[in-house]
Amino acid sequence: MTLDKLTITPPAHPLSGKVSPPGSKSITNRALLLAGLAKGESRLTGALKSDDTLYMAEALRAMGVEVEEPDATTFLVRSSGELKAPKEPLFLGNAGTATRFLTAAVALARGRFVVDGDAHMRKRPIRPLVDALASLGVAIEAPTGCPPVTIDAVGAFKSHRVVIDAGLSSQYVSAILMAAALADAPFEIELAGAEIGARGYIDLTLAAMRAFGAKVEQPTPAVWRVEPTGYTATDFHIEPDASAATYLWGMEVLTGGSIDIGTPAADFTQPDAEAYKVIAAFPHMPAVIDGSQMQDAIPTIAVLAAFNETPVRFVGIANLRVKECDRIRALSLGLNGIRPGLADEEGDDLIVHADPALAGTCHPARIDTFADHRIAMSFALAGLKVAGIAILDPDCVGKTYPAYWDALKSLGVSFIREAA
Ligand SMILES: O=C(O)C1=C[C@@H](OP(=O)(O)O)[C@@H](O)[C@H](O)C1
Ligand SMILES: C=C(OP(=O)(O)O)C(=O)O
């Protein structure tokens, strides 16, 4: 299959207008799962329809949950409250949330479940979650430490306490938290280390669980206690995606425009909304940025940093190596492809050597996106200032923001799309 490339023409005007980011991926996939685990009908509005959420919806359908899509932003979920063993492996593309959340949820169902994904997902680690479930007596196997994962579920855990290492992904904790409300007794989750990337995602999980009737306490920062309430069907509204908003904030500051995204930064509950403060400081972003609590926003900020007044070192971003691609590598390759010497990797830190004089120049560069939506969307920002930037495989934005290029067009940006 020949993939496209999309070459952006830097606009001669500031980008201004109204663009609403799509619904939050993280919240949509939590809500879909919890609605699938609740008996009755749940209406999810403001939802994201993209690869990641459609894989989750399709997996739920394969397990006997009725998922209707009455309009472009609504899912209507009707469930018996039980996930039935599917005939085929569950295919979840490269959706980390769907893959990790379902692995834990099906462990409390009955029958054989195979959780699998695409070639990228098959390289993303799931061992700590698999080990934690195995310690609860679940018959579970993932020979490579990555999907596919095979689970022979018997409807219960053998114990009600688990210790989990979330150093590689907070999604392991979210996955067990959501499953835990279905256990037959109060359940405790303890973090193996103090280290956890993006704690804000755990808060999103707790908020979604509570909206569907769960009771969770956090006696210490490293322990959660979940009551065996199960879930209650409910209507649930999903806020816009904060990670998607970072690109729009980036376009605004980079071009000196004014983009109304319909939601003030302070109203988001997702961790990436923290990025607003850093982005708003452009072109005087700080010398050191700790990305640990806003990981998905780092590609956006790193590309902006190329146009900052002073260099920026990104720390706390080691987990970016196990996302859709090795994002530290993809960012340094892409930036150095625009102008050699623009970025350096030092261990797991990324240093972007700011060069405000880049704006207005022409540097033909083919940006390898490694099929990663965030690499594609963030390097589009460089294309607003530097002529010749071509984004390879631009359709990979479909993972979380299928209308991204339309949004750019609606702001008056033109681009040429052709076979790569
Ligand atoms: O829980 C979530 O919704 C997410 C958690 C983060 O992943 P990790 O916990 O794997 O770092 C984030 O990067 C991902 O896009 C969404
Ligand atoms: C890391 C990401 O996704 P996930 O882990 O949900 O696949 C992301 O969307 O940037």
Ligand-binding annotation for 321, yes or no, is no
CA dist 40 and 46 (Å) reads 20
CA of 204 to the centre of ligand 1 (A): 11
Please give the pLDDT value at position 198: 78
Q: Looking at the structure, do residues 303 and 365 belong to the same domain, yes or no?
A: yes
Please give the pLDDT value at position 242: 98
CATH number at residue 291: 3.65.10.10
Place of tokens 């996955």: 175
Please give the pLDDT value at position 2: 74
Question: Per the residue annotation, which of 296, 368, 372, 395 is the catalytic one?
Answer: 296
Choose one of 237, 252, 276: the last residue of a domain: 237
Considering only CA atoms, which of 219, 271, 205 is closest in space to residue 242?
271
29 Cα nearest atom in ligand 2: 6
98 Cα nearest atom in ligand 2: 6
- CA 139 from centroid of its chain's CA atoms: 28
Treating both helix axes as pointing N-terminal to C-terminal, what angle do 51-62 and 96-106 enclose, rounded to 10 degrees? Answer: 20
For residue 148, which amino acid is it? P
* Burial of residue 191 (number of CB atoms within 10 Å: 0-12, 13-18, 19+): buried
Q: Looking at the structure, do residues 270 and 200 belong to the same domain, yes or no?
A: no
Please give the pLDDT value at position 1: 65
* Burial of residue 237 (number of CB atoms within 10 Å: 0-12, 13-18, 19+): middle
Please give the pLDDT value at position 141: 98
Q: Is the backbone peptide bond immediately before 148 cis, with ω within 30 degrees of 0?
A: yes
Low-confidence ranges of the chain (pLDDT < 70): 1, 194-195, 197
Choose one of 202, 237, 272: the last residue of a domain: 237
Q: Looking at the structure, do residues 154 and 299 belong to the same domain, yes or no?
A: no
Ligand-binding annotation for 4, yes or no, is no
Q: Looking at the structure, do residues 47 and 195 belong to the same domain, yes or no?
A: yes
Please give the pLDDT value at position 196: 74
Q: Is the CB of 97 within 6 Å of ligand 2?
A: yes
Place of tokens 């999103």: 204
ipTM summary value:
0.99
Considering only CA atoms, which of 130, 71, 392, 378 is closest in space to residue 254?
378
Q: Looking at the structure, do residues 207 and 320 belong to the same domain, yes or no?
A: no
Q: Is the CB of 400 within 6 Å of ligand 2?
A: yes
Pocket test for ligand 1, best of 55, 169, 178 (most atoms within 8 A of CB): 169
- From start to end of 34-165, where are the E strands? 38-45, 66-71, 74-79, 90-91, 110-116, 139-141, 149-154, 161-164
Is 395 a residue of the active site? no
Please give the pLDDT value at position 195: 66
CA of 359 to the centre of ligand 1 (A): 32
Q: Looking at the structure, do residues 287 and 181 belong to the same domain, yes or no?
A: no
CA of 108 to the centre of ligand 1 (A): 23
Q: Looking at the structure, do residues 246 and 224 belong to the same domain, yes or no?
A: no
CA of 184 to the centre of ligand 2 (A): 31
201 Cα nearest atom in ligand 1: 1
Considering only CA atoms, which of 260, 256, 194, 181 is closest in space to residue 223?
194
Please give the pLDDT value at position 194: 62
- In this structure, the residue with its CA closest to atom 3 of ligand 1 is 26
Model confidence pLDDT, tens digit, residues 75-99:
999 999 999 999 999 999 999 999 9
Q: Looking at the structure, do residues 193 and 46 belong to the same domain, yes or no?
A: yes
Sheet holding 4-9, edge to edge: 362-367, 387-392, 4-9, 414-419
Q: Looking at the structure, do residues 68 and 201 belong to the same domain, yes or no?
A: yes
Q: Looking at the structure, do residues 271 and 410 belong to the same domain, yes or no?
A: yes
Please list the residues that pair with 6 across neighbouring strands.
Answer: 391, 417
Q: Can you give the residue range of the structural domain that contains 147?
A: 25-237
Q: Please give the angle made by the CA atoms of 390, 298 and 410, to the nearest 5 degrees.
A: 50
Ligand-binding annotation for 29, yes or no, is no
Q: Looking at the structure, do residues 76 and 199 belong to the same domain, yes or no?
A: yes
CA atoms within 13 A on the CB side of 182: 27
**What's the total number of domains in the chain?**
2
Pocket test for ligand 1, best of 26, 120, 201 (most atoms within 8 A of CB): 201
Choose one of 237, 262, 293: the last residue of a domain: 237
CA atoms within 13 A on the CB side of 161: 4
Q: Is the backbone peptide bond immediately before 283 cis, with ω within 30 degrees of 0?
A: yes
Q: Looking at the structure, do residues 379 and 405 belong to the same domain, yes or no?
A: yes
For residue 34, which amino acid is it? L
Considering only CA atoms, which of 61, 140, 129 is closest in space to residue 101?
129
